[in-house]
């Protein structure tokens, strides 16, 4: 059996090489930067008073840049399942599934490679956000790292779950790109959740990303959090564990299902 790390390493490097060799693929990574530019254009029309009362900061640029830095990772998780879809259509996934290769780490590697590929725009956006904020980076680096790790963990599990959907339904998940953008908005990546009507806020509280963005904004801009900071960390941690279990079980069930129905794209 190929070790899980080996599968992860080989497929991640393979995906990254593909990005480098196929320049058009890089566009998907640069998308968040384009969204930021659009948001910068929109900032003047936002009501800063409302924004301040909801978040505790007037620094809309940093707020949006920080949310965008992390939401770009989520987009890449969706992108990972899209890339898996094309490999399924071409029969590569079927071949891999006939091999002694860990399915879980194979699927995770699609997401990891996309996350690694997304590090550059992430760093650019986060640096912009940190540069514009007035908070000392040193005092907030630990909460930022903890939140980032938990968020990336959650994103990876979502990527596995999306990949399972691809394998079961044998259809692309392009529609998830649109849905994910809406989810990021509701979760408060770009606008504070407290600005939304109550019913939308309740939806937001059911999303793990809401707490992640809240904590990220708190770490970078010292914003007001929805719930106490430690409560939000616990919620994020629980989400991470629950999604890991769901992803693992989904994969088991998916493999069982595709072994009954066939994996080949029809």
Site for other proteins in 22-61 (CB under 8 A): 22
Q: Is 127 in the site for other proteins (CB under 8 A)?
A: no
Query: Could you count the other beta carbons within 10 Å of the beta carbon of residue 25?
Result: 15
Report whether 166 contacts 81 (CB < 8 A): yes
Q: Is 178 in the site for other proteins (CB under 8 A)?
A: no
Binding test (CB under 8 A) with other proteins, winner from 24, 38, 47, 100: 100
Alpha-helical regions (H) of the chain:
4-21, 26-42, 48-55, 60-90, 92-97, 103-117, 119-132, 137-169, 175-186, 198-205, 208-221, 229-261
Binding test (CB under 8 A) with other proteins, winner from 14, 43, 120, 136: 14
Q: How far apart are CA 110 and CA 159, in angstroms?
A: 8
Q: Is 91 in the site for other proteins (CB under 8 A)?
A: yes
Binding test (CB under 8 A) with other proteins, winner from 99, 136, 231, 252: 99
Q: Whose Cβ is closer to other proteins: residue 48's or residue 86's?
A: 86
Tell which residue, 147, 150, 3, 14, has the closest CA to residue 158. 150
Q: How far apart are CA 213 and CA 148, in angstroms?
A: 10
Q: Is 175 in the site for other proteins (CB under 8 A)?
A: no
Q: How far apart are CA 20 and CA 9, in angstroms?
A: 16
Binding test (CB under 8 A) with other proteins, winner from 98, 197, 199, 206: 98
Q: What minimum distance in Å lies between the beta carbon of 63 and other proteins?
A: 38
Q: Whose Cβ is closer to other proteins: residue 97's or residue 227's?
A: 97
Tell which residue, 69, 184, 190, 66, has the closest CA to residue 122. 69
Q: Whose Cβ is closer to other proteins: residue 8's or residue 183's?
A: 8
């963990």: which residue's tokens? 153
Q: What minimum distance in Å lies between the beta carbon of 119 and other proteins?
A: 21
Binding test (CB under 8 A) with other proteins, winner from 5, 50, 90, 238: 90
Tell which residue, 133, 145, 156, has the closest CA to residue 208. 156
Q: Whose Cβ is closer to other proteins: residue 22's or residue 199's?
A: 22
Site for other proteins in 235-264 (CB under 8 A): 256, 259-264
The count of chain residues that interact with other proteins, using the rule CB under 8 A, is 29
Binding site for other proteins (CB under 8 A): 1-2, 6-7, 10-11, 14, 17-18, 21-22, 90-92, 94-101, 256, 259-264
């Amino acid at each position: 059996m190929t070790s899980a790390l080996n599968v992860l390493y080989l497929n991640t490097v393979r995906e990254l090489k593909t990005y480098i060799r196929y320049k058009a693929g890089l566009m998907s990574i640069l998308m968040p930067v384009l969204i930021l530019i659009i948001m910068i254009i929109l900032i003047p029309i936002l009501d800063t008073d409302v924004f301040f009362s909801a978040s505790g900061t007037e620094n809309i640029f940093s707020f949006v840049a920080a949310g965008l830095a992390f939401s770009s990772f989520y987009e890449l998780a969706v992108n990972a399942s899209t890339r898996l879809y094309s490999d399924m259509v071409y029969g590569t996934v079927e071949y891999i599934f006939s091999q002694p290769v860990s399915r879980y780490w194979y699927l995770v590697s699609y997401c990891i490679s996309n996350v690694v590929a997304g590090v550059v725009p992430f760093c650019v956006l986060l640096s912009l956000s940190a540069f514009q904020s007035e908070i000392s980076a040193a005092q907030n680096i630990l909460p930022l790292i903890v939140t980032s790790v938990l968020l990336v963990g959650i994103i990876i599990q979502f990527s596995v779950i999306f990949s399972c959907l691809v394998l079961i339904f044998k259809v692309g998940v392009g529609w998830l790109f649109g849905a994910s953008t809406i989810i990021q908005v509701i979760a408060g990546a770009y606008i504070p959740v407290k600005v939304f009507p109550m019913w939308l806020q309740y939806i937001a509280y059911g999303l793990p990303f809401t707490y992640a963005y809240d904590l990220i904004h708190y770490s970078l801009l010292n914003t007001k959090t929805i719930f106490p900071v430690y409560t939000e960390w616990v919620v994020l941690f629980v989400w991470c564990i629950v999604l890991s279990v769901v992803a693992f079980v989904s994969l088991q069930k998916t493999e069982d299902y595709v072994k009954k129905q066939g994996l080949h794209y029809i």
